[in-house]
Chains A and B, each alone.
Chain A
Amino acid sequence: MKYNNRQIFKGLFIVGIILLFISLFLDWYTFEVYNINKDLIASWNYHHFTGWTTPLLDAFTYNDLFRPHNLDISPILHFLFMFIIISCAFTTLTKDVEKVSSPQKLKNYAYLNLFLLLLVGFYIIIFPIGYLLPNELYFPFNMVEDHDANLFYVYSLDIGYYSQVIGFVLVFPYSIFYYQTITHFERKDQTVEKVIGKYIQEIQEPLDMDKFIAEEVLKQRIKGELPPKVVEHNSSNIVKKRVK
Protein backbone atom coordinates (compact mmCIF):
# COMPACT_ATOMS: atom_id res chain seq x y z
CA MET A 1 0.00 0.00 0.00
CA LYS A 2 1.39 3.37 -1.04
CA TYR A 3 1.17 6.22 1.45
CA ASN A 4 1.34 9.86 0.49
CA ASN A 5 2.79 12.71 2.53
CA ARG A 6 -0.58 13.55 4.01
CA GLN A 7 -1.17 10.06 5.35
CA ILE A 8 2.34 9.85 6.77
CA PHE A 9 2.05 13.20 8.52
CA LYS A 10 -1.45 12.44 9.68
CA GLY A 11 -0.01 9.35 11.36
CA LEU A 12 2.76 11.44 12.86
CA PHE A 13 0.15 13.96 14.03
CA ILE A 14 -1.65 11.20 15.92
CA VAL A 15 1.64 10.02 17.45
CA GLY A 16 2.37 13.65 18.40
CA ILE A 17 -1.06 14.07 19.97
CA ILE A 18 -0.53 10.92 22.04
CA LEU A 19 2.88 12.22 23.16
CA LEU A 20 1.38 15.59 24.10
CA PHE A 21 -1.28 13.88 26.15
CA ILE A 22 1.12 11.49 27.88
CA SER A 23 3.57 14.33 28.62
CA LEU A 24 1.03 15.87 30.98
CA PHE A 25 1.34 12.82 33.23
CA LEU A 26 5.12 12.73 33.20
CA ASP A 27 7.70 14.72 35.19
CA TRP A 28 8.62 18.02 33.58
CA TYR A 29 11.52 19.13 35.70
CA THR A 30 14.06 17.59 38.04
CA PHE A 31 16.09 19.26 40.71
CA GLU A 32 18.71 17.26 42.59
CA VAL A 33 21.29 18.08 45.22
CA TYR A 34 24.48 16.07 45.77
CA ASN A 35 27.09 16.39 48.51
CA ILE A 36 30.83 16.40 47.96
CA ASN A 37 30.87 12.59 47.99
CA LYS A 38 28.34 12.63 45.14
CA ASP A 39 25.62 11.23 47.39
CA LEU A 40 22.09 12.32 46.59
CA ILE A 41 20.72 14.35 49.48
CA ALA A 42 17.70 15.95 47.85
CA SER A 43 15.61 15.25 44.78
CA TRP A 44 12.47 16.97 43.56
CA ASN A 45 10.44 16.37 40.42
CA TYR A 46 7.84 18.73 38.99
CA HIS A 47 4.57 17.32 37.77
CA HIS A 48 1.77 19.51 36.39
CA PHE A 49 -1.01 17.96 38.44
CA THR A 50 0.78 17.12 41.69
CA GLY A 51 3.37 19.90 41.79
CA TRP A 52 6.77 19.11 43.39
CA THR A 53 7.15 15.50 44.47
CA THR A 54 10.14 13.61 45.80
CA PRO A 55 11.18 10.03 45.23
CA LEU A 56 13.27 10.09 48.43
CA LEU A 57 12.14 8.66 51.73
CA ASP A 58 11.66 10.66 54.93
CA ALA A 59 15.09 9.45 56.06
CA PHE A 60 16.63 12.15 53.84
CA THR A 61 16.49 14.93 56.39
CA TYR A 62 17.76 17.71 54.11
CA ASN A 63 15.37 16.90 51.27
CA ASP A 64 12.62 19.24 52.46
CA LEU A 65 15.10 22.08 52.86
CA PHE A 66 15.77 22.10 49.14
CA ARG A 67 12.16 21.91 48.00
CA PRO A 68 11.66 24.51 45.18
CA HIS A 69 8.84 27.03 45.28
CA ASN A 70 5.50 26.10 43.82
CA LEU A 71 5.21 27.14 40.18
CA ASP A 72 1.53 28.06 40.50
CA ILE A 73 0.38 27.08 37.01
CA SER A 74 -3.38 26.97 37.03
CA PRO A 75 -4.71 23.38 36.73
CA ILE A 76 -7.50 24.79 34.55
CA LEU A 77 -4.91 25.31 31.83
CA HIS A 78 -3.90 21.66 31.97
CA PHE A 79 -7.51 20.52 31.77
CA LEU A 80 -8.12 22.87 28.87
CA PHE A 81 -5.02 21.48 27.17
CA MET A 82 -6.28 17.93 27.67
CA PHE A 83 -9.66 18.86 26.23
CA ILE A 84 -8.07 20.48 23.18
CA ILE A 85 -5.81 17.47 22.63
CA ILE A 86 -8.75 15.06 22.75
CA SER A 87 -10.85 17.29 20.46
CA CYS A 88 -8.04 17.60 17.92
CA ALA A 89 -7.42 13.85 17.92
CA PHE A 90 -11.13 13.21 17.45
CA THR A 91 -11.56 15.72 14.62
CA THR A 92 -8.43 14.56 12.83
CA LEU A 93 -9.61 10.99 12.90
CA THR A 94 -13.20 11.72 11.92
CA LYS A 95 -13.07 14.88 9.77
CA ASP A 96 -10.88 14.08 6.84
CA VAL A 97 -10.24 17.12 4.68
CA GLU A 98 -10.18 14.98 1.53
CA LYS A 99 -13.47 13.29 2.22
CA VAL A 100 -15.57 16.22 3.39
CA SER A 101 -17.99 17.77 0.90
CA SER A 102 -16.57 21.26 1.46
CA PRO A 103 -13.31 22.13 3.30
CA GLN A 104 -14.98 25.32 4.53
CA LYS A 105 -17.03 23.22 6.93
CA LEU A 106 -13.86 22.26 8.78
CA LYS A 107 -12.74 25.84 9.38
CA ASN A 108 -13.41 25.66 13.12
CA TYR A 109 -11.43 22.45 13.44
CA ALA A 110 -8.50 24.09 11.67
CA TYR A 111 -8.61 26.91 14.22
CA LEU A 112 -8.77 24.31 16.98
CA ASN A 113 -5.54 22.78 15.66
CA LEU A 114 -3.91 26.20 15.60
CA PHE A 115 -5.03 26.78 19.18
CA LEU A 116 -3.44 23.47 20.12
CA LEU A 117 -0.15 24.68 18.61
CA LEU A 118 -0.46 27.88 20.61
CA LEU A 119 -0.95 25.95 23.83
CA VAL A 120 2.00 23.66 23.07
CA GLY A 121 4.01 26.80 22.38
CA PHE A 122 3.03 28.06 25.81
CA TYR A 123 4.24 24.86 27.49
CA ILE A 124 7.49 24.85 25.53
CA ILE A 125 8.48 28.50 25.77
CA ILE A 126 6.46 30.25 28.46
CA PHE A 127 6.85 27.46 31.02
CA PRO A 128 10.67 27.77 31.20
CA ILE A 129 10.79 31.56 30.83
CA GLY A 130 7.78 32.49 32.93
CA TYR A 131 7.75 29.81 35.62
CA LEU A 132 11.20 28.19 35.93
CA LEU A 133 13.47 31.21 35.59
CA PRO A 134 11.78 33.38 38.27
CA ASN A 135 12.40 30.48 40.71
CA GLU A 136 16.04 30.18 39.66
CA LEU A 137 15.45 26.82 38.07
CA TYR A 138 17.81 26.64 35.11
CA PHE A 139 17.19 24.84 31.83
CA PRO A 140 17.65 22.72 29.75
CA PHE A 141 20.43 21.24 31.90
CA ASN A 142 22.76 22.91 34.35
CA MET A 143 25.07 21.82 37.15
CA VAL A 144 26.01 24.42 39.74
CA GLU A 145 28.69 23.86 42.36
CA ASP A 146 28.33 25.54 45.75
CA HIS A 147 31.88 25.72 47.11
CA ASP A 148 30.83 27.13 50.47
CA ALA A 149 28.34 24.35 51.24
CA ASN A 150 30.26 21.69 49.30
CA LEU A 151 27.11 20.83 47.35
CA PHE A 152 26.25 20.25 43.68
CA TYR A 153 22.88 21.39 42.34
CA VAL A 154 21.64 19.66 39.20
CA TYR A 155 18.85 21.36 37.26
CA SER A 156 17.27 19.68 34.26
CA LEU A 157 14.15 19.54 32.17
CA ASP A 158 12.60 16.10 32.33
CA ILE A 159 10.99 13.61 29.99
CA GLY A 160 7.58 15.33 30.10
CA TYR A 161 9.04 18.49 28.58
CA TYR A 162 10.95 16.60 25.90
CA SER A 163 7.82 14.61 25.00
CA GLN A 164 6.07 17.94 24.59
CA VAL A 165 8.80 19.16 22.24
CA ILE A 166 8.68 16.01 20.11
CA GLY A 167 4.88 16.23 20.14
CA PHE A 168 5.05 19.83 18.88
CA VAL A 169 7.38 18.94 16.00
CA LEU A 170 5.12 16.05 14.98
CA VAL A 171 1.84 17.94 15.32
CA PHE A 172 2.96 21.17 13.63
CA PRO A 173 3.17 20.07 9.95
CA TYR A 174 -0.24 18.44 9.70
CA SER A 175 -1.93 21.23 11.68
CA ILE A 176 -0.57 23.88 9.33
CA PHE A 177 -1.33 21.78 6.27
CA TYR A 178 -4.90 21.23 7.51
CA TYR A 179 -5.33 24.96 8.06
CA GLN A 180 -3.77 25.87 4.71
CA THR A 181 -5.95 23.41 2.81
CA ILE A 182 -9.11 24.62 4.47
CA THR A 183 -8.35 28.29 3.94
CA HIS A 184 -6.96 27.98 0.41
CA PHE A 185 -9.33 25.54 -1.22
CA GLU A 186 -12.95 26.12 -1.92
CA ARG A 187 -15.23 23.54 -3.39
CA LYS A 188 -17.47 24.86 -6.10
CA ASP A 189 -21.05 23.88 -5.59
CA GLN A 190 -22.13 21.70 -8.49
CA THR A 191 -25.66 23.00 -8.28
CA VAL A 192 -24.46 26.36 -9.71
CA GLU A 193 -24.89 25.06 -13.25
CA LYS A 194 -28.39 23.92 -12.43
CA VAL A 195 -29.20 27.35 -10.99
CA ILE A 196 -27.78 29.06 -14.09
CA GLY A 197 -29.75 26.73 -16.34
CA LYS A 198 -32.94 27.45 -14.42
CA TYR A 199 -32.27 31.18 -14.54
CA ILE A 200 -31.72 31.09 -18.30
CA GLN A 201 -35.03 29.26 -18.71
CA GLU A 202 -36.80 31.82 -16.53
CA ILE A 203 -35.60 34.90 -18.37
CA GLN A 204 -36.06 33.51 -21.85
CA GLU A 205 -39.11 34.60 -23.74
CA PRO A 206 -41.68 31.79 -23.83
CA LEU A 207 -42.09 30.38 -27.30
CA ASP A 208 -44.89 27.92 -27.96
CA MET A 209 -44.26 26.70 -31.46
CA ASP A 210 -46.93 24.03 -31.09
CA LYS A 211 -49.46 26.76 -30.62
CA PHE A 212 -48.18 28.67 -33.65
CA ILE A 213 -48.35 25.54 -35.77
CA ALA A 214 -51.84 24.74 -34.53
CA GLU A 215 -53.04 28.23 -35.37
CA GLU A 216 -51.71 27.96 -38.87
CA VAL A 217 -53.12 24.49 -39.33
CA LEU A 218 -56.49 25.73 -38.19
CA LYS A 219 -56.33 28.52 -40.73
CA GLN A 220 -55.65 25.97 -43.40
CA ARG A 221 -58.51 23.75 -42.23
CA ILE A 222 -60.89 26.62 -42.39
CA LYS A 223 -59.77 27.27 -45.92
CA GLY A 224 -60.09 23.55 -46.59
CA GLU A 225 -56.52 23.26 -47.76
CA LEU A 226 -55.08 20.98 -45.09
CA PRO A 227 -52.32 18.81 -46.57
CA PRO A 228 -52.11 15.20 -45.30
CA LYS A 229 -48.45 15.73 -44.18
CA VAL A 230 -49.49 17.99 -41.31
CA VAL A 231 -51.90 15.44 -39.90
CA GLU A 232 -49.12 12.88 -39.68
CA HIS A 233 -46.81 15.05 -37.58
CA ASN A 234 -46.70 13.74 -34.05
CA SER A 235 -44.65 16.36 -32.22
CA SER A 236 -47.62 18.54 -31.45
CA ASN A 237 -50.49 17.39 -29.31
CA ILE A 238 -52.47 20.46 -30.18
CA VAL A 239 -52.18 19.69 -33.88
CA LYS A 240 -53.40 16.15 -33.31
CA LYS A 241 -56.39 17.34 -31.31
CA ARG A 242 -57.29 19.96 -33.85
CA VAL A 243 -57.04 17.49 -36.72
CA LYS A 244 -59.37 15.02 -34.95
Chain B
Amino acid sequence: MMDYSLLDSKLKHLIQVCKETKNYKKIAVTGFILISNLLDEIGIKLGIRPHNKLKEEKIFEYMRIINDVFETNLQVKIFSVELLDTIKKCELLFLRSRGDVPFEYLKEILNAYYELRKLEVPNLHEQLKEGNIIETPNLFSFLSPRTKKDSKDPNKLKPLILHKIKQKEISLRETLNYKFNPQLLETAIYLKKVRKGIEENDHRKIVYQGSLKNNINYQQSLEQILGYFTLGAFLFAFLFGFAITIETMLYPLTINTQGIYLLILFGTAALLFIVYWHYFRTV
Protein backbone atom coordinates (compact mmCIF):
# COMPACT_ATOMS: atom_id res chain seq x y z
CA MET B 1 0.00 0.00 0.00
CA MET B 2 1.24 3.41 -0.93
CA ASP B 3 2.39 5.76 1.81
CA TYR B 4 0.52 9.03 1.47
CA SER B 5 1.66 10.59 4.75
CA LEU B 6 4.15 13.03 3.18
CA LEU B 7 1.72 14.00 0.45
CA ASP B 8 -1.04 14.56 3.01
CA SER B 9 1.22 16.65 5.16
CA LYS B 10 2.20 18.82 2.21
CA LEU B 11 -1.40 19.14 1.08
CA LYS B 12 -2.46 20.23 4.54
CA HIS B 13 0.32 22.76 4.59
CA LEU B 14 -0.63 24.07 1.16
CA ILE B 15 -4.29 24.43 2.15
CA GLN B 16 -3.24 26.28 5.24
CA VAL B 17 -1.08 28.82 3.42
CA CYS B 18 -3.55 29.16 0.56
CA LYS B 19 -6.33 29.86 3.01
CA GLU B 20 -4.25 32.63 4.49
CA THR B 21 -3.42 34.15 1.14
CA LYS B 22 -7.01 33.44 -0.07
CA ASN B 23 -5.61 31.73 -3.16
CA TYR B 24 -8.24 29.00 -3.52
CA LYS B 25 -7.40 28.49 -7.16
CA LYS B 26 -4.15 26.82 -6.18
CA ILE B 27 -5.99 24.36 -3.94
CA ALA B 28 -8.43 23.58 -6.74
CA VAL B 29 -5.62 23.04 -9.27
CA THR B 30 -3.76 20.80 -6.84
CA GLY B 31 -6.95 18.87 -6.07
CA PHE B 32 -7.67 18.20 -9.72
CA ILE B 33 -4.07 17.24 -10.49
CA LEU B 34 -4.19 14.79 -7.59
CA ILE B 35 -7.50 13.35 -8.81
CA SER B 36 -6.24 13.09 -12.38
CA ASN B 37 -3.03 11.35 -11.30
CA LEU B 38 -4.92 8.97 -9.07
CA LEU B 39 -7.34 8.13 -11.88
CA ASP B 40 -4.41 7.45 -14.22
CA GLU B 41 -3.06 5.01 -11.66
CA ILE B 42 -6.45 3.35 -11.22
CA GLY B 43 -7.01 3.11 -14.96
CA ILE B 44 -3.61 1.60 -15.69
CA LYS B 45 -3.88 -0.84 -12.82
CA LEU B 46 -7.20 -1.97 -14.22
CA GLY B 47 -5.70 -2.37 -17.67
CA ILE B 48 -7.28 0.74 -19.24
CA ARG B 49 -5.48 3.50 -21.12
CA PRO B 50 -4.45 6.59 -19.13
CA HIS B 51 -6.37 9.83 -18.98
CA ASN B 52 -5.90 11.62 -22.31
CA LYS B 53 -4.83 15.07 -21.24
CA LEU B 54 -3.59 16.09 -24.68
CA LYS B 55 -7.07 15.76 -26.13
CA GLU B 56 -8.44 17.63 -23.13
CA GLU B 57 -10.44 14.67 -21.98
CA LYS B 58 -12.34 15.62 -18.87
CA ILE B 59 -11.75 13.76 -15.63
CA PHE B 60 -15.37 12.68 -15.24
CA GLU B 61 -15.38 11.44 -18.87
CA TYR B 62 -12.38 9.26 -18.14
CA MET B 63 -14.12 7.96 -15.01
CA ARG B 64 -17.14 7.06 -17.13
CA ILE B 65 -14.90 5.15 -19.54
CA ILE B 66 -13.49 3.07 -16.66
CA ASN B 67 -17.00 2.44 -15.37
CA ASP B 68 -18.26 1.50 -18.85
CA VAL B 69 -15.45 -0.98 -19.41
CA PHE B 70 -16.13 -2.72 -16.13
CA GLU B 71 -19.89 -2.59 -16.51
CA THR B 72 -19.67 -4.18 -19.96
CA ASN B 73 -17.29 -6.90 -18.84
CA LEU B 74 -18.22 -7.60 -15.25
CA GLN B 75 -21.40 -5.59 -14.62
CA VAL B 76 -19.54 -3.81 -11.85
CA LYS B 77 -19.23 -0.06 -11.27
CA ILE B 78 -15.84 1.11 -10.06
CA PHE B 79 -16.95 4.66 -9.22
CA SER B 80 -20.26 5.40 -7.58
CA VAL B 81 -22.74 7.67 -9.36
CA GLU B 82 -22.54 10.19 -6.52
CA LEU B 83 -18.78 10.45 -6.75
CA LEU B 84 -18.91 10.83 -10.52
CA ASP B 85 -21.58 13.55 -10.26
CA THR B 86 -19.60 15.46 -7.65
CA ILE B 87 -16.45 15.44 -9.77
CA LYS B 88 -18.42 16.38 -12.87
CA LYS B 89 -20.08 19.31 -11.11
CA CYS B 90 -16.79 20.59 -9.67
CA GLU B 91 -14.79 20.07 -12.85
CA LEU B 92 -17.27 21.85 -15.08
CA LEU B 93 -17.39 24.78 -12.69
CA PHE B 94 -13.60 24.79 -12.46
CA LEU B 95 -13.29 24.90 -16.27
CA ARG B 96 -15.98 27.54 -16.65
CA SER B 97 -14.57 29.84 -14.00
CA ARG B 98 -10.96 29.13 -15.09
CA GLY B 99 -10.00 27.77 -11.72
CA ASP B 100 -11.80 30.23 -9.51
CA VAL B 101 -14.10 27.97 -7.58
CA PRO B 102 -15.91 28.88 -4.39
CA PHE B 103 -14.43 27.65 -1.12
CA GLU B 104 -17.24 25.11 -0.47
CA TYR B 105 -16.45 23.38 -3.76
CA LEU B 106 -12.85 22.91 -2.71
CA LYS B 107 -14.04 20.78 0.13
CA GLU B 108 -15.97 18.62 -2.29
CA ILE B 109 -12.96 18.28 -4.62
CA LEU B 110 -10.72 17.18 -1.79
CA ASN B 111 -13.40 14.87 -0.42
CA ALA B 112 -13.71 13.29 -3.87
CA TYR B 113 -9.94 12.81 -3.96
CA TYR B 114 -9.96 11.04 -0.61
CA GLU B 115 -12.94 8.94 -1.68
CA LEU B 116 -11.02 7.84 -4.77
CA ARG B 117 -8.02 7.00 -2.66
CA LYS B 118 -10.13 4.64 -0.60
CA LEU B 119 -10.78 2.50 -3.67
CA GLU B 120 -7.41 0.67 -3.62
CA VAL B 121 -7.99 -1.10 -6.92
CA PRO B 122 -5.97 -4.28 -7.54
CA ASN B 123 -3.14 -4.20 -10.02
CA LEU B 124 -4.41 -6.54 -12.70
CA HIS B 125 -0.95 -6.74 -14.23
CA GLU B 126 0.10 -8.69 -11.17
CA GLN B 127 -0.57 -12.38 -10.76
CA LEU B 128 -3.94 -12.97 -9.16
CA LYS B 129 -3.38 -14.43 -5.78
CA GLU B 130 -5.18 -17.70 -5.28
CA GLY B 131 -5.46 -16.96 -1.57
CA ASN B 132 -7.80 -14.08 -2.40
CA ILE B 133 -10.30 -16.32 -4.07
CA ILE B 134 -13.23 -16.77 -1.79
CA GLU B 135 -14.64 -20.26 -1.39
CA THR B 136 -12.52 -21.49 -4.28
CA PRO B 137 -11.75 -24.89 -2.72
CA ASN B 138 -15.42 -25.83 -2.97
CA LEU B 139 -15.87 -24.26 -6.35
CA PHE B 140 -12.78 -25.61 -8.01
CA SER B 141 -12.99 -29.04 -6.46
CA PHE B 142 -14.91 -29.91 -9.62
CA LEU B 143 -11.72 -29.35 -11.55
CA SER B 144 -9.52 -31.52 -9.40
CA PRO B 145 -8.28 -34.84 -10.84
CA ARG B 146 -9.94 -36.81 -8.03
CA THR B 147 -13.35 -35.71 -9.19
CA LYS B 148 -12.44 -36.46 -12.78
CA LYS B 149 -11.71 -40.01 -11.83
CA ASP B 150 -15.21 -40.40 -10.46
CA SER B 151 -16.82 -38.99 -13.54
CA LYS B 152 -17.21 -41.07 -16.65
CA ASP B 153 -17.47 -38.08 -18.93
CA PRO B 154 -15.78 -34.92 -17.66
CA ASN B 155 -17.55 -32.85 -20.30
CA LYS B 156 -20.82 -33.53 -18.52
CA LEU B 157 -19.49 -31.52 -15.57
CA LYS B 158 -18.78 -28.50 -17.70
CA PRO B 159 -22.31 -26.99 -17.56
CA LEU B 160 -22.41 -27.55 -13.82
CA ILE B 161 -19.06 -25.84 -13.30
CA LEU B 162 -20.13 -22.97 -15.54
CA HIS B 163 -23.40 -22.64 -13.65
CA LYS B 164 -21.56 -22.53 -10.32
CA ILE B 165 -19.11 -19.93 -11.61
CA LYS B 166 -21.89 -17.78 -13.04
CA GLN B 167 -23.78 -17.94 -9.74
CA LYS B 168 -20.65 -16.89 -7.90
CA GLU B 169 -20.07 -14.08 -10.39
CA ILE B 170 -23.61 -12.73 -9.89
CA SER B 171 -23.26 -12.73 -6.12
CA LEU B 172 -19.88 -10.99 -6.37
CA ARG B 173 -21.34 -8.43 -8.74
CA GLU B 174 -24.16 -7.64 -6.32
CA THR B 175 -21.73 -7.30 -3.44
CA LEU B 176 -19.40 -5.09 -5.48
CA ASN B 177 -22.19 -2.80 -6.64
CA TYR B 178 -23.27 -2.44 -3.05
CA LYS B 179 -19.77 -1.78 -1.73
CA PHE B 180 -16.49 -1.73 -3.63
CA ASN B 181 -13.87 -4.19 -2.48
CA PRO B 182 -10.58 -4.69 -4.39
CA GLN B 183 -10.25 -8.35 -3.36
CA LEU B 184 -13.73 -9.13 -4.59
CA LEU B 185 -13.06 -7.31 -7.85
CA GLU B 186 -9.94 -9.41 -8.31
CA THR B 187 -11.98 -12.53 -7.62
CA ALA B 188 -14.65 -11.46 -10.11
CA ILE B 189 -12.02 -10.95 -12.81
CA TYR B 190 -10.40 -14.26 -11.98
CA LEU B 191 -13.72 -16.08 -12.18
CA LYS B 192 -14.45 -14.49 -15.51
CA LYS B 193 -11.08 -15.68 -16.79
CA VAL B 194 -11.79 -19.20 -15.55
CA ARG B 195 -15.28 -19.18 -17.10
CA LYS B 196 -13.92 -17.96 -20.44
CA GLY B 197 -11.22 -20.60 -20.30
CA ILE B 198 -13.76 -23.37 -19.75
CA GLU B 199 -16.15 -21.99 -22.36
CA GLU B 200 -13.50 -21.64 -25.01
CA ASN B 201 -11.69 -24.80 -23.90
CA ASP B 202 -8.49 -23.15 -25.01
CA HIS B 203 -4.97 -24.18 -24.14
CA ARG B 204 -3.53 -21.00 -22.82
CA LYS B 205 -0.35 -21.11 -20.83
CA ILE B 206 -0.48 -21.16 -17.08
CA VAL B 207 1.28 -18.04 -15.88
CA TYR B 208 2.98 -18.26 -12.52
CA GLN B 209 5.13 -16.06 -10.38
CA GLY B 210 7.95 -17.08 -8.11
CA SER B 211 8.91 -20.72 -7.93
CA LEU B 212 7.43 -23.28 -10.31
CA LYS B 213 7.77 -25.90 -7.59
CA ASN B 214 5.24 -24.07 -5.41
CA ASN B 215 2.66 -23.61 -8.16
CA ILE B 216 -0.52 -25.61 -7.47
CA ASN B 217 -1.11 -26.39 -11.16
CA TYR B 218 2.43 -27.67 -11.47
CA GLN B 219 2.07 -29.83 -8.38
CA GLN B 220 -1.12 -31.29 -9.84
CA SER B 221 0.63 -31.91 -13.15
CA LEU B 222 3.18 -34.07 -11.31
CA GLU B 223 0.44 -36.66 -10.92
CA GLN B 224 0.27 -36.85 -14.68
CA ILE B 225 3.74 -38.44 -15.00
CA LEU B 226 2.33 -41.79 -13.97
CA GLY B 227 -0.23 -41.32 -16.73
CA TYR B 228 2.53 -40.67 -19.25
CA PHE B 229 4.24 -43.84 -18.09
CA THR B 230 1.04 -45.78 -18.84
CA LEU B 231 0.73 -43.98 -22.16
CA GLY B 232 4.31 -44.86 -23.13
CA ALA B 233 3.79 -48.54 -22.32
CA PHE B 234 0.49 -48.46 -24.24
CA LEU B 235 2.18 -46.89 -27.27
CA PHE B 236 4.87 -49.55 -27.33
CA ALA B 237 2.40 -52.45 -26.95
CA PHE B 238 0.09 -51.05 -29.62
CA LEU B 239 2.79 -50.17 -32.16
CA PHE B 240 4.71 -53.41 -31.69
CA GLY B 241 1.44 -55.32 -32.03
CA PHE B 242 0.83 -53.36 -35.22
CA ALA B 243 4.30 -54.35 -36.49
CA ILE B 244 3.56 -58.04 -35.82
CA THR B 245 0.20 -57.65 -37.60
CA ILE B 246 2.08 -56.43 -40.68
CA GLU B 247 4.42 -59.39 -40.35
CA THR B 248 1.53 -61.87 -40.25
CA MET B 249 -0.03 -60.17 -43.27
CA LEU B 250 3.19 -60.48 -45.25
CA TYR B 251 3.92 -64.01 -44.04
CA PRO B 252 0.54 -65.59 -43.18
CA LEU B 253 2.16 -68.88 -42.13
CA THR B 254 3.66 -67.16 -39.08
CA ILE B 255 0.19 -66.54 -37.60
CA ASN B 256 0.41 -69.80 -35.63
CA THR B 257 3.35 -68.61 -33.58
CA GLN B 258 2.66 -64.86 -33.70
CA GLY B 259 -0.96 -65.13 -32.61
CA ILE B 260 -0.03 -65.40 -28.96
CA TYR B 261 2.17 -62.28 -29.16
CA LEU B 262 -0.62 -60.39 -30.86
CA LEU B 263 -3.04 -61.41 -28.14
CA ILE B 264 -0.64 -60.40 -25.35
CA LEU B 265 0.37 -57.10 -26.97
CA PHE B 266 -3.09 -55.91 -28.00
CA GLY B 267 -4.55 -57.14 -24.69
CA THR B 268 -1.91 -55.19 -22.76
CA ALA B 269 -2.45 -52.15 -25.00
CA ALA B 270 -6.21 -52.24 -24.39
CA LEU B 271 -5.72 -52.60 -20.64
CA LEU B 272 -3.23 -49.75 -20.48
CA PHE B 273 -5.49 -47.57 -22.59
CA ILE B 274 -8.41 -48.19 -20.26
CA VAL B 275 -6.22 -47.37 -17.25
CA TYR B 276 -4.98 -44.19 -18.88
CA TRP B 277 -8.46 -43.14 -20.00
CA HIS B 278 -10.03 -43.66 -16.62
CA TYR B 279 -7.36 -42.34 -14.33
CA PHE B 280 -5.09 -39.95 -16.15
CA ARG B 281 -6.88 -38.44 -19.11
CA THR B 282 -7.09 -34.63 -18.93
CA VAL B 283 -10.26 -32.82 -19.90
Task: Report whether A188 and B221 are in contact in the complex, using a CB–CB cutoff of 8 Å.
Answer: no
Interface residues of A in 160-209 (CB under 8 A from B): 165, 168-169, 171-174, 176-177, 180-181, 183-188, 190, 192-193, 196, 199-200, 203-205, 207, 209
Where chain B touches its partner, the secondary structure class is: helix
Task: Report whether A128 and B222 are in contact in the complex, using a CB–CB cutoff of 8 Å.
Answer: no
Query: At the interface, yes or no: B261 with Cβ under 8 Å from chain A?
Result: yes
Query: At the interface, yes or no: A2 with Cβ under 8 Å from chain B?
Result: no
6 additional contacts (CB under 8 A) given A97-B212, A184-B206, A186-B208: A5-B225, A139-B244, A172-B229, A176-B232, A187-B212, A215-B26
| Interface flags, B207-236, vs A, CB<8A=1, else 0 | 111011101011001111110110111011
Residues of A within 8 A of B41 (CB): 200, 204
Residues of A within 8 A of B217 (CB): 185
Residues of A within 8 A of B270 (CB): none
Task: Report whether A213 and B10 are in contact in the complex, using a CB–CB cutoff of 8 Å.
Answer: yes
Task: Report whether B236 and A165 are in contact in the complex, using a CB–CB cutoff of 8 Å.
Answer: yes
Cα separation A190 to B203 with both chains bound (whole Å): 23
Task: Report whether A180 and B44 are in contact in the complex, using a CB–CB cutoff of 8 Å.
Answer: no
Task: Report whether B40 and A236 are in contact in the complex, using a CB–CB cutoff of 8 Å.
Answer: no
The answer, among A97, A172, A199, A233, for a CB contact under 8 Å with B13, is A233
**CB of B222, distance to nearest CB on chain A (Å):** 5
Residues of A within 8 A of B11 (CB): 209
Residues of A within 8 A of B126 (CB): 192-193
Question: At the interface with chain B, which of A17-25, A72-80, A87-95, A217-225?
Answer: A217-225
Query: At the interface, yes or no: B194 with Cβ under 8 Å from chain A?
Result: no
Cα separation A229 to B229 with both chains bound (whole Å): 78
Cα separation A143 to B211 with both chains bound (whole Å): 57
Task: Report whether A181 and B218 are in contact in the complex, using a CB–CB cutoff of 8 Å.
Answer: yes
Task: Report whether B21 and A207 are in contact in the complex, using a CB–CB cutoff of 8 Å.
Answer: no
Task: Report whether B17 and A207 are in contact in the complex, using a CB–CB cutoff of 8 Å.
Answer: no
The answer, among A139, A193, A207, A235, for a CB contact under 8 Å with B123, is A193
Task: Report whether B226 and A5 are in contact in the complex, using a CB–CB cutoff of 8 Å.
Answer: yes
Task: Report whether B224 and A180 are in contact in the complex, using a CB–CB cutoff of 8 Å.
Answer: yes
Residues of B within 8 A of A138 (CB): 247, 251, 254, 258
**CB of A186, distance to nearest CB on chain B (Å):** 4
Where chain A touches its partner, the secondary structure class is: helix
A216 with B23, Cβ < 8 A, contacts A98-B212, A176-B231 known:
yes
Residues of B within 8 A of A187 (CB): 207-209, 212
Query: At the interface, yes or no: B243 with Cβ under 8 Å from chain A?
Result: yes
Query: At the interface, yes or no: B118 with Cβ under 8 Å from chain A?
Result: no
Residues of B within 8 A of A229 (CB): 16
Number of A interface residues, CB 8 Å? Answer: 63
**CB of A27, distance to nearest CB on chain B (Å):** 19
A6 with B239, Cβ < 8 A, contacts A142-B258, A172-B228, A185-B206 known:
no
Task: Give A214's nearest chain B residue, CB to CB.
Answer: B17
Task: Report whether B222 and A6 are in contact in the complex, using a CB–CB cutoff of 8 Å.
Answer: yes
**CB of B280, distance to nearest CB on chain A (Å):** 11
A124 with B21, Cβ < 8 A, contacts A129-B246, A172-B229, A207-B37 known:
no
**CB of B160, distance to nearest CB on chain A (Å):** 25
Task: Give B222's nearest chain A residue, CB to CB.
Answer: A5
Cα separation A153 to B223 with both chains bound (whole Å): 47
Task: Give B11's nearest chain A residue, CB to CB.
Answer: A209
Cα separation A6 to B218 with both chains bound (whole Å): 11
Task: Report whether A177 and B6 are in contact in the complex, using a CB–CB cutoff of 8 Å.
Answer: no
**CB of A84, distance to nearest CB on chain B (Å):** 17
Query: At the interface, yes or no: A64 with Cβ under 8 Å from chain B?
Result: no
Question: At the interface with chain A, which of B28-36, B96-104, B180-188?
Answer: B28-36
Query: At the interface, yes or no: A9 with Cβ under 8 Å from chain B?
Result: yes
A168 with B14, Cβ < 8 A, contacts A200-B41, A220-B21, A225-B20 known:
no
Task: Report whether B243 and A177 are in contact in the complex, using a CB–CB cutoff of 8 Å.
Answer: no
Residues of B within 8 A of A172 (CB): 228-229, 231-232, 235
**CB of A161, distance to nearest CB on chain B (Å):** 10
| Interface flags, A100-121, vs B, CB<8A=1, else 0 | 0001000000000000000001
Residues of B within 8 A of A124 (CB): 236, 239-240
Query: At the interface, yes or no: A230 with Cβ under 8 Å from chain B?
Result: yes
Query: At the interface, yes or no: B127 with Cβ under 8 Å from chain A?
Result: yes
The answer, among A142, A181, A185, for a CB contact under 8 Å with B257, is A142
Residues of B within 8 A of A128 (CB): 243, 247
Cα separation A235 to B145 with both chains bound (whole Å): 59
Interface centre among B7, B21, B36 (most CB of A within 10 A): B21
